[in-house]
A = this chain, B = another copy of it.
Amino acid sequence: MAKQERAIRTRRAILEAAGAVFDEHGYTSTTIAMVLERAEVTKGALYFHFPSKESLAQAVLDEQVPFGAVPQQPCRLQEIIDMTFVVGERLLTNPLLRGSVRLTVDQATPSGVDHSGPFRQWGERLMVLMEQARERGELLPTVEPRDTVDLLVGGFAGLQLMSRALSGRADLGHRLSVLWGHILPSIAVPGLLLGLDSKADRGARVLASLDLPAS
């Protein structure tokens, strides 16, 4: 294994360990020692990549939006729907994503860490897709993309939070399906409504399709 590749793997192992520890203990109670023990790396390796707890938290936050990658679809609104379900599904199993989301929503994350960054980054990502949806004639003329995008980002944050508190996120797919069922008639042109898939198991199906070998 080349030296650079090893460094990338070590960095990733530290990030995943840090995500898990931040998810379980929150920013304030997390210590570098806890991350070291979980990651099974040396202190020197950790400080080489991350000079402080703040920098570790920032890196965990920066990893959040890539978890929303989804396959391209004929309809941009379907891609936006898919992002919410895929992130919801990945929250069930991925400690790095869970830790990143906890740092975003916990008020305890210190001001030296840009914990509101993911809200803005999700917003920018969704705005690109929403503008494409508009150009393709998928949206009703009354839609203000910025408002709708902020509603989706904020609404998702709260639904995953309530779902975690009440069911350990087991009902998150259903809650996202309810969100889309209420919102889509206000944003999509009527001809699209029946063809869009926002069923509760959408996330699992999209992720399963990603595991298939490219044909």
Chain A residues within CB distance 8 Å of chain B: 26, 28-29, 102, 104-108, 115-116, 119-120, 144, 147-148, 150-151, 153-166, 175, 178-179, 181-183, 185-187
Instruction: List the B residue with the shortest CB-CB distance to A24.
Output: B107
CB pair A161 B158 closer than 8 Å: yes
CB pair B161 A157 closer than 8 Å: yes
* Distance in Å: Cβ of A177 to nearest Cβ of chain B: 9
Q: Which residues of B contact A187 (CB under 8 A)?
A: 182
CB pair A158 B154 closer than 8 Å: yes
The dominant DSSP class at the A interface is helix
Give A166 to B117 CA distance when docked, in angstroms.
9
With A26-B28, A150-B162 already in contact, 9 other A-B pairs whose C-beta atoms are closer than 8 Å: A28-B29, A102-B107, A108-B108, A151-B159, A151-B175, A154-B159, A157-B158, A161-B161, A183-B186
Q: Which residues of B contact A182 (CB under 8 A)?
A: 148, 151, 182-183, 186-187
* Distance in Å: Cβ of A116 to nearest Cβ of chain B: 4
Instruction: Specify which of B119, B155, B162, B166 is in contact with A166 (CB 8 Å cutoff).
Output: B119
**Given A108-B29, A148-B182, A119–B155 Cβ distance below 8 Å?**
no
Q: Which residues of B contact A107 (CB under 8 A)?
A: 26, 102, 105-106, 164
* Distance in Å: Cβ of A198 to nearest Cβ of chain B: 13
Give A120 to B166 CA distance when docked, in angstroms.
9
